[in-house]
Amino acid sequence: MKMLLRLFVVITLGMTSCRIPFDPEVPDTFADVLIVEGYLDSEGKPSQLRLSKTVPLSADTSSIPETNAQVFLTAFSGENYPLTEIEPGVYLFQADVPEEGTYTLEIQLANGDRYQSQPIRPILTPEIIDVGYNRNEEGVEVFVSTKGDENADDFLWTFEETWIYRPRIRTTYIYDPELGDVRFRTEAEQISLCFKTESSPDILLETSSRFQDQVVFQKTITQIPEGDERIMERYSILIAQKAISEDAVQFWDILKKNTEDIGSIFSPLPSQITGNIRSLDDESRPVVGQVSMGVVQEIRLYVDFVDVLPWPYIDPQFNDCVIGLDEVRIPDYSAIFGSGFTLPARELLVGTSIVGYYPTDRRCADCTLYASPVRPDFWEDE
């Protein structure tokens, strides 16, 4: 979605700019443009459609979610499948529909504006043959292999990455103001194990007919640079393989080229891009987006730190993180630990009794400042 928005801005500037630097006055028509993006799974897996509107170039945000829209998938045979808004501008589709059918996506915005897709035929995406990774000089390359057929020749891949994130300093202690003392953290209070999740930013396309027997062998999905935090302990990637039509290929290929080559005045002018969505009320009203449909094939891969050694992960923002040398004694717990900015990190023992704790900064010991402490439902430790 961000790439669609960036491309539209670039197109706008390209249509109003020249070699002499100046501040272009962008017409109001280039704001408030509907952006539609999604791939609807036809076998009942949850899939999402995103609706948003562009904003003026001077705005603080890149887009505004389009909320409270009525969205339906309509079969030529008459059945309607409603999509439900699950968060602002995000609409959930979850229905097992006949793949031999033909469908249109119907959108009515809260202001009454109506949009419709061109006819959509679901495509049966072949299964992923293999997934794996190679440790190379640059880091870790993640790849998939698949095989096209007479119905599915062109592929689009997306992925979602999740990885364990640890703080530089780990502590199991917490100051409890009700007790006026330091105690062990409960499982719900732990701050030493977190998870980060990010979605793929790139457009990954391939045509299987370019290869012998339509076998796409070890297509690179992502390259993780050596020392990247994603493999500080355990990394997971969920790869989604989607077969798309020739029209969809053209859309994504234009988008890919224009988002990757916009860096100089000698770059080609970005192509006008629309997609398969049109306005029912005004054919001249601009709309950008592509909606496809079919069977989504997914596969998950895990990569462990120990399997790619050496992996010299160092985060320079924590280079000054240390456990303090001056202990905090019981009378000073409230004054030092009460604000939450300083945490008890290590106990000070006299014999077998704890008489104080050595402190550290919260930013060095609390992973929840940077990631989520909630363990994903799919996560496997081995």
pLDDT tens digits for 292-302?
999 999 999 99
Region of 89 on the Ramachandran plot (φ > 0 left; ψ -120 to 50 alpha; else beta): left
pLDDT exceeds cutoff 90 at 209: yes
146 near 128, Cβ under 8 Å?
A: yes
pLDDT digits (tens, 9 = 90+) for 153-193: 999 999 999 999 999 999 999 999 999 999 999 999 999 99
Res 257: pLDDT: 78
Res 269: pLDDT: 42
Res 256: pLDDT: 81
pLDDT exceeds cutoff 70 at 265: no
Res 30: pLDDT: 56
- The domain ranges of the chain are 2-163+195-307, 169-193+315-369
* Least confident residue range of 16-30, 80-94, 142-156: 16-30
pLDDT average, residue stretch 71-97: 97
* Residue predicted with more confidence, 2 or 95: 95
Would strands 342-350 and 204-207 be described as parallel, antiparallel, or unpaired?
Answer: unpaired
Res 254: pLDDT: 83
pLDDT exceeds cutoff 70 at 377: yes
* Least confident residue range of 33-37, 39-43, 130-134, 339-343: 33-37
How far apart are alpha carbons 146 and 246 in whole angstroms?
18
Nearest to 328 by CA among 340, 345, 341: 345
pLDDT exceeds cutoff 80 at 267: no
Would strands 47-54 and 63-65 be described as parallel, antiparallel, or unpaired?
Answer: antiparallel
pLDDT exceeds cutoff 90 at 215: yes
* Least confident residue range of 24-28, 220-224, 327-331: 24-28
* Residue predicted with more confidence, 311 or 2: 311
* Least confident residue range of 28-42, 77-91, 218-232: 28-42
Which residues, at least 6 apart from 205, have a Cβ–Cβ distance to it below 8 Å? 154, 155, 156, 157, 249, 252, 253, 256
pLDDT average, residue stretch 91-95: 97
- Rg of the chain, C-alpha, whole Å: 26
Res 261: pLDDT: 56
* Residue predicted with more confidence, 29 or 318: 318
pLDDT exceeds cutoff 80 at 373: yes
pLDDT average, residue stretch 355-361: 97
Q: What is the mean pLDDT of the chain?
A: 89
pLDDT average, residue stretch 34-51: 95
**Model pTM?**
0.85
Instruction: Count other C-beta atoms under 10 Å from residue 283's C-beta.
Output: 7
pLDDT exceeds cutoff 90 at 25: no
Nearest to 243 by CA among 160, 159, 148: 148
Res 232: pLDDT: 96
CA 83 to chain centre: 21
How far apart are alpha carbons 206 and 229 in whole angstroms?
29
Res 18: pLDDT: 47
Res 58: pLDDT: 62
